[in-house]
């Protein structure tokens, strides 16, 4: 079970690759003679010339927006939220203990700690500190950022910890002993790389890492999965599976569920296609399900398949977006009888599902708002269904469970104006009760939430959420911030943010989230509608929301700002270049922008399934229509724009934001601003102080230009 401190607004670019240097005069692949990119030197991520440019840009931006009392007040108010001792300490159950990672003012890099459920029920639990990352950094002279832990069931005495040297996705792996609270001498240890590890038993782990030249895919994920035995060198690890260079990644994992111990190999070909194998007696048994299935999940006696496209098998067609179930052993024996557990409709999609010991909880979105059902398999393969008590209006409920620990379940309930609560219950024994409640970081009584629908260019109705002061006068005067993502099946659902409340709403601003196509708000169909050659649909949706806000009188172009990061940064780049007349300012964060070279930068090769391959001339014909770096012009008036990124971002990388800012400035555009943090990876902050700085910078820039 893994409960996280924020809802699933995580950026969707989850495949990772380190940036590569390019010589200044290297032509872009496929470029004709005489069309070389003059800013290729900025692709040398840590090069002296590039870093000097970054430092100069940072100085200009800081002087304009950060060297004043308003910025400091905003930053400090956000930091109060991030460092607050009243925040919910989200936990992960492992056996009888609840584990938590905690960062605050006294512990900026954090404490890894645990407590019991009895203690956790108290207003101020007593925590047992297992590892102090700040103390570790002091001893080792490092700047480690804690990333993850994997502890060996069922005793949870030994753990594999992942530590990033700079907040990026490359991690060092070390074995840690819980009883002694120390790293295991001569235990499992791997140098920093984009590594995947998992326990098999006390003396063996599965590992995928950089074994040397040719061992990583072109997306820089592990290409080879091996078994590594304790006490032997990594070079002696035994290969389980080798993928192709063009695959996205290969991984292996062991299911330790008593009575259902199984081993699996997953071969991910791209973001939306993969093959799963059971590894049994040294042989690979292919699970013959569609390669584009969103999930293939073996749990105890069951096999669950979540479909992206319709699947016809033995005369029965299961629709796109459906969740179906079969007995695992029957499926391996060749039977193809499935029970349909969920079918989407025009308004409803499956967000996720979670197993408890005896039940399955479905987390569904009904017009982007949460609804939960509990399913229980019966002896005759019939599944009983019961609706779980509903969530508040305009809210999101996240479910987490530990199927090894009875029928316990945990709920995170959050909404735009409702401080997040953490609830715990046991199916069949007790309904969920609130264990922790986040404080209110701003006065929500002054605001109201509404949901609107607008027709996009092709007539598709697109929803958006609006948080605005009550009884607001629709005179077009209100600073309005429009946020979007629109890619990789990521859904933007209601969530509570003290930072947004303090930095935007309390000032009198209006905050809007657009649920555009490319996301997963209405299941696979919503995502697939904006793939590759249809990418412009996402941008048409976002511009339609912007138009509607203006037509309704909520705001006007001079008061309307837009913000997005990662794939949402590409969205911002296209708002800038395709719809500059709609916006008064744009914040473009850790973005993709150069879609001609994106497959050769950082993790770009892994996103071809989403955007297409620009090295194929036929595909470049449609990709160039949404490539901001190529589409920016010298004779167009653009709104003020802030690009921010991080040097240590090893997913998208800092290169594209650098080049776009430099190109616009080179064309003579004013009001182009750039800032690059050195640490923090794709999340833009290695600790709360850095995160507060970056958020405050964006809000101050936007408010300054839109007020």
User: Residue 550 sits in a domain of what CATH number?
Assistant: 3.40.50.1820
- For 329, half-sphere exposure in the C-beta direction (CA atoms, 13 angstrom radius) is 3
Q: Do residues 7 and 567 make contact, with C-beta atoms less than 8 angstroms apart?
A: no
**What per-residue confidence (pLDDT) applies to 635?**
97
pLDDT averaged over the chain?
93
Q: Which residues are annotated as catalytic?
A: 566, 682
Domain boundary, last residue among 424, 440, 456: 440
Question: Tens of pLDDT along 197-232?
Answer: 999 999 999 999 999 999 999 998 999 999 999 999
For the cut 80, the answer to whether the pLDDT of residue 15 exceeds it is: no
Burial group, residue 258, by CB count within 10 angstroms (0-12, 13-18, 19+): exposed
Decide if 588 is inside a domain.
Answer: yes
* DSSP output for 476-508: S-S-EEEE----TT--------HHHIIIIITTT
Decide if 273 is inside a domain.
Answer: no
For the cut 80, the answer to whether the pLDDT of residue 2 exceeds it is: no
* Beta strand 128-132 pairing with 480-483: unpaired
Helix, coil or strand: residue 206: strand
For residues 453 and 456, what is the distance between their CA atoms, to the nearest angstrom? Answer: 9
Domain boundary, last residue among 339, 368, 398: 339
The token pair that represents 326 in the structure block: 């079969």
For the cut 50, the answer to whether the pLDDT of residue 31 exceeds it is: no
Judgement on whether residues 447 and 433 belong to the same structural domain of the protein: no
Residue with tokens 């649920």: 515
In DSSP terms, which residues pair with 132 in a beta bridge? 111
Strands (E), 244-356: 249-255, 262-270, 273-280, 283-286, 295-299, 302-306, 311-313, 316-318, 323-327, 339-342, 348-355
Number of domains in the chain: 3
Specify the DSSP class assigned to residue 532. Answer: G
For the cut 70, the answer to whether the pLDDT of residue 10 exceeds it is: no
For residues 422 and 414, what is the distance between their CA atoms, to the nearest angstrom? Answer: 9
- Could you tell me the pLDDT band of residue 403, with boundaries at 50, 70 and 90? confident
Question: Tens of pLDDT along 433-473?
Answer: 999 999 999 999 999 999 999 999 999 999 999 999 999 99
For the cut 70, the answer to whether the pLDDT of residue 637 exceeds it is: yes
* Beta strand 560-565 pairing with 480-483: parallel
Judgement on whether residues 366 and 328 belong to the same structural domain of the protein: no
Instruction: Give the number of other CB atoms < 10 A from CB of residue 344.
Output: 21
Residue with tokens 């002054």: 446
Residue spans of alpha helices (H) in 266-354: 328-332
Judgement on whether residues 335 and 389 belong to the same structural domain of the protein: no
The token pair that represents 343 in the structure block: 């079918």
Could you tell me which residues come within 8 angstroms of residue 676 by beta carbon, excluding any fewer than 6 positions away? 54, 57, 58, 644, 645, 646, 647, 654, 657, 658
**What per-residue confidence (pLDDT) applies to 391?**
67
Judgement on whether residues 660 and 564 belong to the same structural domain of the protein: yes
Q: Do residues 416 and 467 make contact, with C-beta atoms less than 8 angstroms apart?
A: yes
Specify the DSSP class assigned to residue 314. Answer: T
* Weakest-pLDDT range from 30-34, 358-362, 478-482, 491-495: 30-34
**What per-residue confidence (pLDDT) applies to 389?**
74
Specify the DSSP class assigned to residue 32. Answer: P
Q: Which domain holds residue 318?
A: 290-339
Could you tell me which residues come within 8 angstroms of residue 197 by beta carbon, excluding any fewer than 6 positions away? 150, 160, 173, 188, 190, 205, 206, 207, 208, 209
Decide if 383 is inside a domain.
Answer: yes
For the cut 70, the answer to whether the pLDDT of residue 25 exceeds it is: no
Decide if 316 is inside a domain.
Answer: yes
For the cut 90, the answer to whether the pLDDT of residue 9 exceeds it is: no
Question: Tens of pLDDT along 523-554?
Answer: 999 999 999 999 999 999 999 999 999 999 99
Judgement on whether residues 310 and 349 belong to the same structural domain of the protein: no
Decide if 430 is inside a domain.
Answer: yes
**What per-residue confidence (pLDDT) applies to 295?**
94
Treating both helix axes as pointing N-terminal to C-terminal, what angle do 48-65 and 655-666 enclose, rounded to 10 degrees? 70
**Where is pLDDT greater, at 17 or 338?**
338
For residues 146 and 110, what is the distance between their CA atoms, to the nearest angstrom? Answer: 8
Question: Tens of pLDDT along 278-315?
Answer: 999 999 999 999 999 999 999 999 999 999 999 999 99
For the cut 90, the answer to whether the pLDDT of residue 390 exceeds it is: no
The share of the chain scoring above pLDDT 70, in percent, equals 95
Question: Tens of pLDDT along 74-127?
Answer: 999 999 999 999 999 999 999 999 999 999 999 999 999 999 999 999 999 999
Taking phi first (over 0 means left), then psi (-120 to 50 degrees means alpha), and beta for anything else, what does residue 681 get?
A: left
Peptide bond into 154 cis (omega under 30): yes
Question: Tens of pLDDT along 225-270?
Answer: 999 999 999 999 999 999 999 999 999 999 999 999 999 999 999 9
Q: Do residues 634 and 668 make contact, with C-beta atoms less than 8 angstroms apart?
A: yes
Judgement on whether residues 455 and 552 belong to the same structural domain of the protein: yes
**What per-residue confidence (pLDDT) applies to 417?**
96
pTM of the model: 0.92
Judgement on whether residues 382 and 482 belong to the same structural domain of the protein: no
**What per-residue confidence (pLDDT) applies to 707?**
87
For residues 703 and 700, what is the distance between their CA atoms, to the nearest angstrom? Answer: 5
**What per-residue confidence (pLDDT) applies to 35?**
54
Decide if 428 is inside a domain.
Answer: yes
For the cut 80, the answer to whether the pLDDT of residue 5 exceeds it is: no
For the cut 50, the answer to whether the pLDDT of residue 8 exceeds it is: no
The token pair that represents 46 in the structure block: 């840590």
Q: Do residues 408 and 401 make contact, with C-beta atoms less than 8 angstroms apart?
A: yes
Q: Do residues 68 and 61 make contact, with C-beta atoms less than 8 angstroms apart?
A: no
Q: Looking at residues 618-641, what average pLDDT do you find?
A: 98
Residue length, the chain?
707
**Where is pLDDT greater, at 52 or 1?**
52
The token pair that represents 41 in the structure block: 């030197």
Residue with tokens 């006065």: 443
- Could you tell me the pLDDT band of residue 681, with boundaries at 50, 70 and 90? confident
Domain boundary, last residue among 394, 424, 440: 440
The share of the chain scoring above pLDDT 90, in percent, equals 89
Report which of 215, 159, 211 is spatially closest to residue 190, judged by C-alpha positions: 211
For the cut 80, the answer to whether the pLDDT of residue 30 exceeds it is: no
Judgement on whether residues 464 and 518 belong to the same structural domain of the protein: yes
**What per-residue confidence (pLDDT) applies to 394?**
83
Judgement on whether residues 412 and 486 belong to the same structural domain of the protein: no
In the sheet with 92-94, reading across from the earlier edge strand, the strands are: 92-94, 97-102, 111-116, 128-132
**What per-residue confidence (pLDDT) applies to 603?**
87
In DSSP terms, which residues pair with 264 in a beta bridge? 253, 278
The token pair that represents 616 in the structure block: 């194929």
- For 615, half-sphere exposure in the C-beta direction (CA atoms, 13 angstrom radius) is 10
For the cut 80, the answer to whether the pLDDT of residue 4 exceeds it is: no
The token pair that represents 27 in the structure block: 């032509």
Q: Do residues 660 and 572 make contact, with C-beta atoms less than 8 angstroms apart?
A: no
- Could you tell me the pLDDT band of residue 425, with boundaries at 50, 70 and 90? very high
Q: Do residues 146 and 160 make contact, with C-beta atoms less than 8 angstroms apart?
A: no
Judgement on whether residues 311 and 454 belong to the same structural domain of the protein: no
The token pair that represents 163 in the structure block: 């530590």
Decide if 610 is inside a domain.
Answer: yes
Question: Tens of pLDDT along 554-576?
Answer: 999 999 999 999 999 999 999 99
Buried b or exposed e, range 462-480, using 16+ CB within 10 angstroms:
bbbbbbbeeebeeebebbb
For the cut 90, the answer to whether the pLDDT of residue 172 exceeds it is: yes
**What per-residue confidence (pLDDT) applies to 24?**
27
Instruction: Give the number of other CB atoms < 10 A from CB of residue 394.
Output: 20
For residues 705 and 457, what is the distance between their CA atoms, to the nearest angstrom? Answer: 29
For the cut 70, the answer to whether the pLDDT of residue 624 exceeds it is: yes
- Could you tell me the pLDDT band of residue 602, with boundaries at 50, 70 and 90? confident
For residues 442, 555, 592, 457, the Cα torsion angle rounded to the nearest 10 degrees is: 130
Judgement on whether residues 369 and 452 belong to the same structural domain of the protein: no
Q: Do residues 374 and 365 make contact, with C-beta atoms less than 8 angstroms apart?
A: no
Q: Do residues 199 and 187 make contact, with C-beta atoms less than 8 angstroms apart?
A: no
Judgement on whether residues 428 and 546 belong to the same structural domain of the protein: no
In DSSP terms, which residues pair with 565 in a beta bridge? 589
Instruction: Give the number of other CB atoms < 10 A from CB of residue 511.
Output: 23
What phi and psi values does residue 82 have, to the nearest 5 degrees? -70, -30
**What per-residue confidence (pLDDT) applies to 446?**
96
Q: Do residues 689 and 79 make contact, with C-beta atoms less than 8 angstroms apart?
A: yes
Decide if 43 is inside a domain.
Answer: no
Q: Do residues 442 and 505 make contact, with C-beta atoms less than 8 angstroms apart?
A: yes
């Amino acid at each position: 079970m893994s409960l996280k401190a924020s809802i699933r607004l995580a950026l969707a670019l989850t495949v990772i690759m380190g940036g590569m240097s390019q010589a200044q005069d290297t032509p872009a692949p496929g470029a004709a003679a005489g069309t070389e990119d003059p800013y290729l030197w900025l692709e040398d991520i840590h090069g002296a010339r590039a870093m000097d440019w970054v430092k100069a840009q940072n100085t200009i931006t800081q002087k304009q927006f950060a060297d004043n009392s308003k910025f400091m007040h905003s930053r400090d108010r956000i930091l109060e939220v991030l460092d607050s001792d009243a925040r919910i300490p989200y936990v992960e159950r492992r056996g009888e203990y609840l584990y938590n990672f905690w960062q605050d003012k006294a512990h900026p890099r954090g404490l890894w700690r645990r407590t019991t459920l009895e203690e956790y029920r108290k207003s101020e639990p007593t925590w047992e500190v297992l590892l102090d990352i700040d103390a570790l950094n002091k001893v080792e002279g490092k700047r480690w950022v804690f990333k993850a832990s994997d502890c060996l069931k069922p005793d949870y005495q030994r753990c594999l910890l992942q530590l990033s040297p700079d907040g990026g996705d490359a991690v060092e792996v070390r074995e840690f002993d819980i009883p002694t609270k120390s790293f295991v001498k001569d235990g499992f240890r791997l140098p920093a790389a984009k590594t995947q590890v998992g326990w098999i038993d006390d003396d063996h782990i599965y590992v995928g890492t950089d074994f040397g030249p040719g061992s990583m895919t072109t997306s820089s994920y592990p290409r080879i999965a091996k078994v590594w035995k304790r006490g032997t060198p990594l070079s002696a690890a035994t290969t389980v599976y080798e993928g192709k260079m063009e695959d996205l990644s290969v991984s292996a994992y062991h299911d330790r569920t008593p009575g259902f111990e199984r081993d699996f190999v997953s071969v991910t070909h791209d973001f939306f296609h993969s093959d799963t194998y059971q590894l049994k007696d040294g042989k690979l048994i292919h699970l013959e399900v569609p390669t584009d299935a969103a999930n293939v999940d073996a749990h105890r006696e069951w096999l669950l398949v979540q479909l992206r496209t319709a699947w016809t098998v033995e005369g029965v067609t299961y629709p796109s977006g459906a969740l179906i179930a079969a007995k695992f052993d029957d499926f391996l024996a060749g039977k193809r009888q499935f029970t349909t557990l969920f079918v989407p409709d025009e308004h409803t999609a499956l967000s996720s599902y979670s197993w408890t010991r005896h039940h399955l909880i479905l987390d569904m979105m009904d017009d982007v708002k949460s609804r939960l059902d509990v399913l229980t398999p019966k002896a005759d393969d019939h599944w009983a269904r019961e609706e779980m008590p509903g969530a508040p209006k305009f809210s999101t409920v996240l479910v987490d469970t530990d199927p090894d620990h009875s029928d316990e379940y945990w709920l995170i309930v959050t909404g735009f104006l409702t401080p997040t609560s953490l609830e715990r219950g046991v199916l069949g024994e007790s309904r969920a009760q609130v264990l922790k409640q986040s404080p209110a970081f701003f006065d929500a009584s002054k605001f109201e939430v509404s949901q609107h629908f607008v027709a996009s260019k092709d007539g598709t109705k697109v929803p958006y959420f609006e948080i605005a002061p009550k009884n607001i006068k629709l005179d077009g005067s209100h600073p309005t911030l429009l946020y979007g993502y629109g890619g990789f099946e990521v859904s933007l659902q209601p969530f509570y943010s003290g930072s947004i409340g303090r930095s935007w709403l309390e000032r009198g601003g209006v905050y809007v989230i657009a649920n555009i196509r490319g996301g997963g708000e209405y299941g696979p169909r919503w995502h697939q509608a904006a793939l590759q050659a249809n990418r412009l649909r996402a941008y048409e949706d976002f511009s339609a929301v912007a138009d509607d806000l203006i037509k309704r009188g909520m705001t006007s172009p001079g008061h309307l700002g837009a913000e997005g990061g990662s794939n949402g940064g590409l969205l911002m780049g296209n708002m800038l270049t395709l719809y500059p007349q709609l916006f008064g300012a744009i914040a473009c964060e850790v973005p993709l922008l150069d879609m001609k070279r994106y497959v050769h930068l950082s993790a770009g090769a892994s996103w071809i399934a989403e955007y297409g391959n620009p090295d194929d001339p036929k595909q470049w014909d449609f990709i160039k229509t949404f490539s901001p770096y190529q589409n920016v012009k010298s004779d167009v008036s653009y709104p003020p724009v802030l690009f921010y990124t991080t040097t240590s971002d090893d997913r998208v990388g800092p290169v594209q934001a650098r080049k776009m800012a430099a190109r616009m400035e080179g064309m003579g555009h004013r009001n182009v601003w750039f800032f690059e943090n050195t640490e923090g990876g794709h999340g833009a902050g290695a600790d709360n102080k850095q995160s507060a700085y970056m958020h405050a910078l964006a809000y101050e820039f936007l408010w300054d230009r839109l007020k």
